[in-house]
Structure 1
Amino acid sequence: MASQLVLRKADFFASAAQPVAVADRYPQNVFAEHTHDFCELVLVWRGNGLHVLNDRPYRITCGDLFYIRAEDRHSYESVNDLVLHNIIYCPERLKLNVDWNDLLYSQAEAGKDPRWRLSSHGMAQARQLISQLEHESQQQDALSFCLTESLFLQLCILLRRHRYQPHDTSAPNGGETLDLLLATLGNSFHTPFDLQQFCQKNQVADRHLRQLFRQQTGMSISQYLRQLRICQAQDLLRHSEMLISDIATRCGFEDSNYFSVVFLKETGMTPRMWRQRYITHFDTLNNSSCR
């Protein structure tokens, strides 16, 4: 088995004292699975891609937010004009008297989805803070390190205030139409989504919303929803023993044959091939460990 790719602090931080750095990805290209010896926040600004985190695929687009621990494994696949920021930091270098673990990782203790979303209002404020943080983190004096950490704390508090879970139908509170649409789509795995009804309810023109969605995400509304459902199906095929027909229904496909056609088009494999791929992989690992 090939050794795991590990990204090292020395390649990303200018000194051993620097607590936080900003790595912009304009764009983020395909990147093989890796871990780090530092932690990071991932905030997506535009485009779309497949983010595989600890073997779970997530279709990501503007407003998606992830908190990545050093030991987490993740990769980027099937990217399309994907633009994001990585805010990288070393917990042991943070000096302020703050419960960083609670501020950053409380969602793990609550059993929440590791992906969060950030409202448009929150994104606008975060962009300003990240710009300041990127500038200050390039300085190498003691005062700059203090200010960098202070800006990082402000950013973490801002993200905590404006983030919401993708499947939370009550969020975002006071969000813009695009936020409301993405939140609704994130909760439409099992039930049909009616765009016309959504537009009437939120008093927005169908054509305008379609154009705005494609501009910000790089795909149509129907493409995004279909790929959300396929990601859900990939996870169930890999980590459950449910029948493929039941998985199809669970992921919003009334016809299991149509589900198989769509799955093949999106992944290059049939659902059965996808499941078998991981069964074979785990069998190989188990046999190797027994030798």
Structure 2
Amino acid sequence: MLHLTSEEYVGEHSNIRVVERSPQSDFPEHCHNFSELVLVSSGHGMHVVNGEQALLFPNTIACISSRDYHSFYDNKDVMLLNVMYNKEDLMFSRQAVDVIKKLEIDGAGGIVTEKSFRNVYAIAETIKNEYSLNDPYSKQMQSLLFEQLVLMMGRLYFEKFQHSPVMNALIYLCNNFRDQNVSVTHVCNLFSVTQKSLSSKVSGLTGLSTNKFLNLLRIREAKLLLRRGLSVTEVAHLTGYSDSNYFSAKFKTVTGVSPREHVKFYG
């Protein structure tokens, strides 16, 4: 596993740094001795945190602490800001410290409203600009702005699920795709949205139909489980397929190889 250091990524004379990833390329599993916020502005992909798969969508916010390990893969035009920080060197209010603790416990985070995301993103961009100034005031300005960003994110917990019914349906689909009872019809009925409206949202974000997107989520998860040594039958049932032969056929359609061939290649 790669180990990234604060000296290389945050800087030897700074405790906060914001870097734009345009785009964020696939990146292997790694850890670091600093923490970071990940603010996704566009695209979609996968973010694996401590072995658990999470989806990247626009307006996604995640927090990775110095105790975590993570990777990015299957990224499609993902644009994001990395807000990297050394929390031990920051002098913050009690409220800000409590928010950071909560963020780091929750980890992978989730999707927030577009308005809230824009506000957080704008502060992160200002911190990025202050870092480049490097004048006598820039370091203190970065610290003050970062505390403002953290406190604003504390407020997001009360807004986190104030999405439209279609967006809530999509979030539910992303969180429950492993369930064999989850289907596009089931999700649409659950949130009282039409299949057309959900398909339009999914297609706008991923370029895929809802069914193809659901299948992609399951196959991405299956790849991780196969590499951990689980059998094809076990993986099929854990990723929402009741029949292992059907799972194998879908796996080959998406990846071009069978599950067993995939294991041989990555084993």
Q: TM-score, normalised by structure 2?
A: 0.79
SS in 2 for 1:137: helix
2:73 to 69, 74, 77: 77
Q: 2:78 and 2:148 mapped to 1: Cα distance?
A: 25
Give the match for residue 256 of structure 1: 244
Query: C-alpha offsets along residues 135-169 of structure 1, whole Å, 9 cap, x if unaligned?
Result: 233332453322322222222233333259xxxxx
SS in 2 for 1:79: strand
Q: 2:51 and 2:261 mapped to 1: Cα distance?
A: 17
SS in 1 for 2:139: helix
Q: Cα distance, 1:90 vs. partner?
A: 1.5
Q: Which amino acid aligns with 1:193?
A: S
Q: Cα distance, 1:273 vs. partner?
A: 5.3
Please give the root-mean-square deviation of Cα atoms over the aligned residues, in Å: 3.4
Q: Cα distance, 1:257 vs. partner?
A: 0.8
Pair 1:219–1:25, CA change in 2 (3 A): farther
Query: Pairwise mapping of residues 212-223 of structure 1 onto structure 2 (< 5 A)?
Result: 212-223=201-212
Give the match for residue 172 of structure 2: 184
Q: Identical aligned pairs, as a percentage?
A: 26
Give the match for residue 144 of structure 2: 150
For structure 2, the 5+ residue unaligned runs are: none
Give the match for residue 52 of structure 1: 48
Q: Cα distance, 1:125 vs. partner?
A: 2.3
Give the match for residue 210 of structure 1: 199
Q: Cα distance, 1:213 vs. partner?
A: 2.8
Query: C-alpha offsets along residues 98-143 of structure 1, whole Å, 9 cap, x if unaligned?
Result: 476642343665xx6x422122242232222223222233332453
Q: 1:100 and 1:200 mapped to 2: Cα distance?
A: 37
Pair 1:95–1:23, CA change in 2 (3 A): same
SS in 1 for 2:18: strand
Is the contact made by 1:57 and 1:234 (CA closer than 8 Å) also made in structure 2? no
Query: C-alpha offsets along residues 206-238 of structure 1, whole Å, 9 cap, x if unaligned?
Result: 445433332234443323322322344344445
Q: 2:98 and 2:264 mapped to 1: Cα distance?
A: 39
Is the contact made by 1:44 and 1:65 (CA closer than 8 Å) also made in structure 2? yes
For structure 1, the 5+ residue unaligned runs are: 165-170, 281-291
2:3 to 3, 6, 13: 6
Aligned residues: 264
Pair 1:218–1:37, CA change in 2 (3 A): farther
Pair 1:71–1:266, CA change in 2 (3 A): farther
Q: Which amino acid aligns with 1:226?
A: N
Is the contact made by 1:59 and 1:227 (CA closer than 8 Å) also made in structure 2? no
Give the match for residue 193 of structure 1: 183
Q: 2:121 and 2:185 mapped to 1: Cα distance?
A: 30
Give the match for residue 111 of structure 2: 118
Pair 1:228–1:144, CA change in 2 (3 A): same
SS in 2 for 1:96: coil
Is the contact made by 1:49 and 1:80 (CA closer than 8 Å) also made in structure 2? yes
1:173 aligned onto 2:170: no
Query: C-alpha offsets along residues 48-80 of structure 1, whole Å, 9 cap, x if unaligned?
Result: 223233444444222333211235333322221
Q: Which amino acid aligns with 1:198?
A: C
Pair 1:178–1:217, CA change in 2 (3 A): farther
SS in 2 for 1:41: strand
Query: Pairwise mapping of residues 86-165 of structure 1 onto structure 2 (< 5 A)?
Result: 86-98=82-94, 102-106=98-102, 114-120=107-113, 121-163=115-157
Q: 2:170 and 2:25 mapped to 1: Cα distance?
A: 24
Q: 1:34 and 1:116 mapped to 2: Cα distance?
A: 18
Is the contact made by 2:47 and 2:56 (CA closer than 8 Å) also made in structure 1? yes
Pair 1:59–1:147, CA change in 2 (3 A): same
Q: 1:201 and 1:7 mapped to 2: Cα distance?
A: 42
Pair 1:34–1:246, CA change in 2 (3 A): closer
Give the match for residue 287 of structure 1: none
